[in-house]
Amino acid sequence: MHVEFGVSPWLDQVPGENIAQDALDRLVAAGIRGLRVGRPGFGRADGSEASHPDRFWDLVASGCTALQARERLLTIGAQAACDMFGSVYRMSQGADGFVSTPLGIDPTRRADGTVTAACQVHLEVDRPNVIVAIPAAGSGVRALREAVAAGCNVEAAAIFSIARYEQVLEAYQVGLEALVHRGGDPATVHGFASFDLGSIDAEVEQRIGASTGGRLGEVRGLAAVAQAMLVCEVFKQHFSSDRWKRLSRLGATPQRLIWAGADVGLTPDQVQRYLYVARAAGVPDPAMMMPASTITSLDNAAFAPTTPTLTHNEALQVLGTLHDGGLDIEDISAILEARSTTRSAVSLADASDQFSRWAERS
């Protein structure tokens, strides 16, 4: 994927996939170039809790709350993962080898609390290849801007719409400009924008249903590809502007695009469908988040990318056809964003309750 197609494959640790240390080592050796750490919980894929249960008890015994102990274990897991991908980071001269870690906070909370938490993660993990994932919904855009201004590597996570993506781009640029204004070095900050193509595809497919004829049948499987092509056009326009060039001369790097899926990750079909998109649009260095099950499926089958290439006008026509058929992509994106925000808040509450129960047992 990386050598032949210019796409960096990243491992997405989706819920339910627990990955042993030796299996993760093999994936890195086989060419996986980045990692999104799963949300923490006992037995999670990053291995921090499952591998170090004694540390949890020690932290609780020392006076930490269950949530504080959980956050410390997340830090330990992130440090170990960053060290594992350190060789990729060094060999790529800082272009890859990143580890994206979630914040253990409610995504609906105030932006200032999110920024404080993001800076704390950077300080505690203390690795140049750590990224903090901040959901782009709600107060997330402001939090992204201020975290970048503070010098943090940030992944704008769970982007579903082009309108939200444009806000994320602006937040990244304004954050870098504020960093420069305070005397900071923009070359030290890495930004990522994770566009959730998988959820868009799945939702549109479900709404189309069993229809194979008519105009909707003609655009089946093209909704996310069309969205991605338009996203790439927005990317190119933004990072070719005179305003951006002033930052570029100071060493700033564009906010990299990541194609991703929701909690279940991208399927093999989706990976092969999206692979050509960024290259066809002329966007450099995209990444693709894939769960371990998808990576295994791709390794065990003939790898033959089948993504149709759409022009800008063709992408607009696909979305227009969907709209005429009663499937407005912006409405769908708004629903998916709200659903993602709710799911994240519930997941955090469940994990916190889980750790509290373990602490009570001690």
Which domains does the chain show, CATH number per domain?
A: 2-361 (3.20.20.70)
Task: Kindly tell me if the per-residue pLDDT of 131 is higher than 90.
Answer: yes
- Confidence at residue 336, expressed as pLDDT on a 0 to 100 scale: 94
Q: CB-based contacts of 307: which residues, under 8 Å, 6+ apart?
A: 225, 272, 273, 274, 275, 276, 277, 280
- Confidence at residue 347, expressed as pLDDT on a 0 to 100 scale: 59
- Confidence at residue 53, expressed as pLDDT on a 0 to 100 scale: 58
**What average pLDDT does the structure give for the chain?**
85
- Confidence at residue 16, expressed as pLDDT on a 0 to 100 scale: 65
Confidence of residue 48 (pLDDT cuts 50, 70, 90): very low
293-322 burial, b if ≥16 CB within 10 A, otherwise e?
A: ebbebbeeeeeeeebeebeeeebeebbebb
- Confidence at residue 77, expressed as pLDDT on a 0 to 100 scale: 84
Nearest CA to 17 among 297, 256, 352?
Answer: 297
Task: Kindly tell me if the per-residue pLDDT of 178 is higher than 70.
Answer: yes
Residues 296-318: what's their mean pLDDT? 81
Least confident among 14-23, 265-274, 279-288? 14-23
Residues 287-291: what's their mean pLDDT? 95
Residue predicted with more confidence, 45 or 158 = 158
- Confidence at residue 102, expressed as pLDDT on a 0 to 100 scale: 85
Burial of 106 (0-12, 13-18, 19+ CB in 10 A): middle
- Confidence at residue 28, expressed as pLDDT on a 0 to 100 scale: 92
- Confidence at residue 68, expressed as pLDDT on a 0 to 100 scale: 73
- Confidence at residue 264, expressed as pLDDT on a 0 to 100 scale: 77
In one-letter notation, the amino acid at residue 242 is: D
What is the token pair recorded at 355? Answer: 């750790």
- Confidence at residue 147, expressed as pLDDT on a 0 to 100 scale: 96
- Confidence at residue 212, expressed as pLDDT on a 0 to 100 scale: 56
The rounded percent of the chain whose pLDDT value lies above 90 is: 56
Residue predicted with more confidence, 340 or 231 = 231
Distance of CA 135 to the CA centre of its chain: 9
Residues 138-145: what's their mean pLDDT? 91
Q: What number of other Cβ atoms are within 10 A of residue 183's Cβ?
A: 6
Residues 117-121: what's their mean pLDDT? 88
Least confident among 13-22, 101-110, 151-160, 167-176? 101-110
Confidence of residue 8 (pLDDT cuts 50, 70, 90): very high
Residue 307 main-chain phi, psi, to 5 deg: -65, 125
Confidence of residue 62 (pLDDT cuts 50, 70, 90): confident
Task: Kindly tell me if the per-residue pLDDT of 21 is higher than 50.
Answer: yes
Task: Kindly tell me if the per-residue pLDDT of 56 is higher than 90.
Answer: no
Q: How far apart are the first and last CA of the chain?
A: 47
- Confidence at residue 213, expressed as pLDDT on a 0 to 100 scale: 62
Confidence of residue 359 (pLDDT cuts 50, 70, 90): low
> Which of 37-51, 177-191, 342-356 is the most confident on average?
177-191
Residue-wise pLDDT tens digits, 243-254: 999 999 999 999
Q: Cα separation of 134 and 220, whole Å?
A: 31
- Confidence at residue 50, expressed as pLDDT on a 0 to 100 scale: 43
